[in-house]
Homo-oligomer: A and B are copies of this chain.
Amino acid sequence: MQQVFASIITIGDELLIGQVVDTNSAWMAQELNRIGVWLKRRVAVGDDRNEIVHALDEQSKDTQIILMTGGLGPTADDITKPVLCEYFGGKMVVDEKTLDHVKYLFEKIFRRPLLERNLQQAEVPDVATVLHNARGSAPGMWFEKNGKVFISLPGVPHEMKGLMTNEVLPRLQQYFTMPFIAHRTLLTAGIGESFLAEAIKDWEAKLPSHLKLAYLPNYSMVRLRITGSGPDKTLLDQQLDREFTALKELVKEWMVVDEDKPLQVVIGELLKAKNKSMATAESCTGGYIAQMITSIPGSSEYYKGSVVSYANAVKEGLLHVSHDTLRSDGAVSENTVKQMVQGALSSLQADYAVATSGIMGPGGGTPEKPVGMVWVAAGNRHKIITQQFNFRFDRLRNIEMTAINSLNLLRKFIIENS
| A interface list, Cβ under 8 A from B | 13-23, 25-31, 33, 38-46, 51, 58, 73-77, 108-112, 115, 117-118, 135, 156, 158, 162, 192-195, 197-198, 201, 204, 212-217, 223, 225, 227, 280, 282, 285-291, 293-295, 297-300, 303-311, 313-314, 317-318, 347-349, 361-363, 390-397, 399
Cα(A295)–Cα(B299), bound, Å:
23
- Contact assessment for A204 and B44 in the assembled complex, using a CB-CB cutoff below 8 Å: no
List 6 A–B pairs whose Cβ atoms lie within 8 Å, in order of A's numbering: A14-B214, A19-B216, A41-B45, A300-B310, A305-B307, A306-B306
B residues less than 8 Å from A29 (CB atoms): 15-18
- Contact assessment for B17 and A227 in the assembled complex, using a CB-CB cutoff below 8 Å: yes
Do A314 and B309 form a contact, CB below 8 Å, given A17-B33, A42-B15, A110-B192?
no
B residues less than 8 Å from A192 (CB atoms): 110, 112
Counting from the closest, the 6 A-B pairs by CB-CB distance are A286-B294, A287-B290, A18-B29, A287-B287, A18-B30, A306-B308
B residues less than 8 Å from A363 (CB atoms): 297-298
Do A295 and B16 form a contact, CB below 8 Å, given A288-B287, A290-B286?
no
Cα(A22)–Cα(B46), bound, Å:
17
Do A395 and B22 form a contact, CB below 8 Å, given A33-B17, A306-B306?
no
Q: What is the distance, in angstroms, from A361's C-beta to the closest C-beta of chain B?
A: 7
Do A75 and B194 form a contact, CB below 8 Å, given A135-B393, A310-B294, A392-B109?
yes
B residues less than 8 Å from A74 (CB atoms): 193-194, 197
- Contact assessment for B286 and A308 in the assembled complex, using a CB-CB cutoff below 8 Å: no
- Contact assessment for A286 and B297 in the assembled complex, using a CB-CB cutoff below 8 Å: no
Cα(A223)–Cα(B14), bound, Å:
11
Cα(A13)–Cα(B134), bound, Å:
33
* CB nearest neighbor in B for A295: B396
Cα(A372)–Cα(B299), bound, Å:
17
B residues less than 8 Å from A227 (CB atoms): 17
B residues less than 8 Å from A349 (CB atoms): 311, 313-314, 317
Do A38 and B16 form a contact, CB below 8 Å, given A214-B77, A215-B75, A347-B318?
yes
Cα(A393)–Cα(B192), bound, Å:
36
* CB nearest neighbor in B for A403: B291
Given A76-B201, A108-B392, A286-B291, 15 extra CB contacts under 8 A: A14-B216, A16-B42, A19-B26, A19-B216, A20-B26, A42-B44, A43-B43, A73-B194, A73-B217, A109-B390, A158-B397, A287-B287, A287-B291, A300-B311, A311-B348
Do A214 and B19 form a contact, CB below 8 Å, given A158-B393, A198-B115?
yes
- Contact assessment for A314 and B310 in the assembled complex, using a CB-CB cutoff below 8 Å: no
- Contact assessment for A294 and B311 in the assembled complex, using a CB-CB cutoff below 8 Å: no
* CB nearest neighbor in B for A75: B197
- Contact assessment for A195 and B286 in the assembled complex, using a CB-CB cutoff below 8 Å: no
Cα(A350)–Cα(B294), bound, Å:
25
One of B58, B77, B111, B397 near A58 (C-beta < 8 A): B58
One of B44, B112, B394 near A195 (C-beta < 8 A): B112
- Contact assessment for B303 and A310 in the assembled complex, using a CB-CB cutoff below 8 Å: yes
Interface centre among A22, A41, A58 (most CB of B within 10 A): A41
One of B112, B201, B288, B314 near A348 (C-beta < 8 A): B314
Do A17 and B30 form a contact, CB below 8 Å, given A192-B110, A307-B305?
yes
Cα(A294)–Cα(B358), bound, Å:
13
Cα(A138)–Cα(B5), bound, Å:
31
* CB nearest neighbor in B for A300: B310
- Contact assessment for A394 and B39 in the assembled complex, using a CB-CB cutoff below 8 Å: no
B residues less than 8 Å from A303 (CB atoms): 310-311
B residues less than 8 Å from A110 (CB atoms): 192
Do A21 and B26 form a contact, CB below 8 Å, given A109-B390, A112-B192, A294-B308?
yes
Cα(A22)–Cα(B280), bound, Å:
31
B residues less than 8 Å from A41 (CB atoms): 16, 43-45, 51
One of B204, B213, B291, B304 near A314 (C-beta < 8 A): B304
